[in-house]
């Protein structure tokens, strides 16, 4: 429930820094250590900011802190305000707080290492943190990252995304199973047995198959590790993108080309708000690396 905003003491830079530390750490104790303050001091500062704004920024009802929808929206504004202040004091300094890039699996595919290396060379003052988060938007809608590399269509409200490239799909089958020796496969070949679906962060659903030829049995899991384990154990086959074969090898799984599956777009997504000031540079570098085909 929103609270009536107060008109007492104005918001100061310390309020914004405290909130940003809590938003980054999602833990009052760690935020306090980062700010070199006591835990009660950070809690009071955060509470004062919430009273002034008249909204709850942090949900404290669970064992783990989480930003509210208002908190996610305010984080971008607070970060932009702090950046403007810091840059005004030292215009030549690069932004020093980390740029957090989320992904659910396989990151930027074959372009992952070139992106990380090129960023480090060009922006050494702004660490690029690559974070795997098992969520359809890789933590973007929850405010856990500043941008995310996503696969497949994303219909979450408040996000903007651009397609960087398209990956082909491959089948993932049990290494000692009857399909492992095939040079290529069709979706119909997989539908003859159980299909393992990652329903939390994956892009494959039963809708990939025609209505008259969908798998009779599916096994659902919540992340890429469990998906691979289930296939290796012979519980079914799966469908993923080509980068999964390169970045997630498994001794119990064989990846085989799929002849009749459409490709999957790889997107760079961000919230439709000012956000981290280095986001334009990240997008430009990602486009550059894909355009030149750099994979090493």
Tens digit of each residue's pLDDT (9 = 90 or more) over 30-83: 888 888 889 999 999 999 999 999 999 999 876 678 889 898 888 888 887 887
- Specify the range with the lowest mean pLDDT, choosing from 138-147, 199-208, 209-218, 283-292: 138-147
Burial tier of 174 (Cβ tally within 10 Å: 0-12, 13-18, 19+): buried
Tens digit of each residue's pLDDT (9 = 90 or more) over 228-256: 999 999 999 999 999 999 999 999 999 99
Partners of 271 in the β-ladder: 159
Nearest alpha-carbon partner for 248 in 225, 219, 221, 222: 225
CATH of 13-89, one of 1.20.120.530, 1.10.10.10, 3.40.640.10, 3.40.50.2300: 1.10.10.10
Question: What string of DSSP letters covers 22-45?
Answer: HHHHS-HHHHHHHHT--HHHHHHH
Write down the domain spans for the chain.
13-89, 99-166+265-292, 169-262
**Residue 23 above 90 pLDDT?**
no
- The reply to whether CATH 3.40.190.10 applies to domain 169-262 is yes
For residues 204 and 151, what is the distance between their CA atoms, to the nearest angstrom? Answer: 10
**Residue 94 above 90 pLDDT?**
no
**Average pLDDT in the chain:** 89
What integer pLDDT is reported at residue 221 of this predicted model? 96
pTM of the full predicted structure? Answer: 0.73
Crossing angle of the two packed helices 69-89 and 13-25, in degrees rounded to 10: 120
Nearest alpha-carbon partner for 112 in 128, 134, 96, 136: 128
What integer pLDDT is reported at residue 5 of this predicted model? 52
CATH code for the part of the protein at 99-166+265-292: 3.40.190.10
């Amino acid at each position: 429930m929103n609270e009536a905003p107060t008109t007492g003491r104005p918001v100061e830079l310390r309020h914004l820094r405290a909130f940003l530390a809590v938003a980054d750490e999602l833990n009052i104790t760690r935020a306090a250590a980062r700010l070199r303050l006591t835990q009660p001091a950070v809690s009071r500062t955060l509470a004062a900011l919430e009273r002034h704004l008249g909204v709850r920024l942090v949900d404290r009802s669970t064992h783990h802190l989480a930003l509210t929808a208002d908190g996610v929206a305010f984080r971008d504004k607070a970060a932009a305000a702090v950046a403007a202040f810091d840059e005004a004091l030292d215009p030549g300094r690069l932004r020093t707080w980390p740029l957090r890039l989320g992904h659910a699996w396989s990151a930027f595919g074959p372009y992952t290492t070139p992106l990380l290396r090129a960023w480090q060379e060009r922006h050494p003052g702004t660490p690029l943190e690559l974070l795997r988060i098992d969520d359809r938007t890789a933590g973007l809608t929850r405010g856990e990252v500043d941008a995310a590399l996503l696969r497949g269509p994303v219909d979450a409200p408040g996000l903007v995304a651009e397609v960087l490239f398209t990956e082909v799909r491959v089948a993932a089958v049990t290494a000692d199973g009857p399909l492992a020796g095939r040079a290529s496969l069709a979706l119909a070949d997989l539908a003859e047995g159980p299909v393992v679906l990652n329903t939390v962060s994956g892009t494959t659903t039963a809708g990939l198959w025609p209505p008259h030829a969908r798998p009779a049995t599916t096994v659902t899991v919540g992340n890429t590790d469990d998906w691979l384990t289930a296939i290796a154990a012979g519980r079914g086959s799966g469908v993923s993108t080509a980068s999964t074969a390169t970045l997630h090898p498994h001794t119990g799984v064989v990846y085989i080309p799929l002849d009749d599956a459409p490709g999957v777009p790889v997107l760079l997504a961000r919230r439709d708000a000012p956000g981290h000031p280095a986001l334009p540079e990240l997008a430009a570098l990602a486009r550059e690396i894909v355009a030149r085909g750099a994979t090493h």
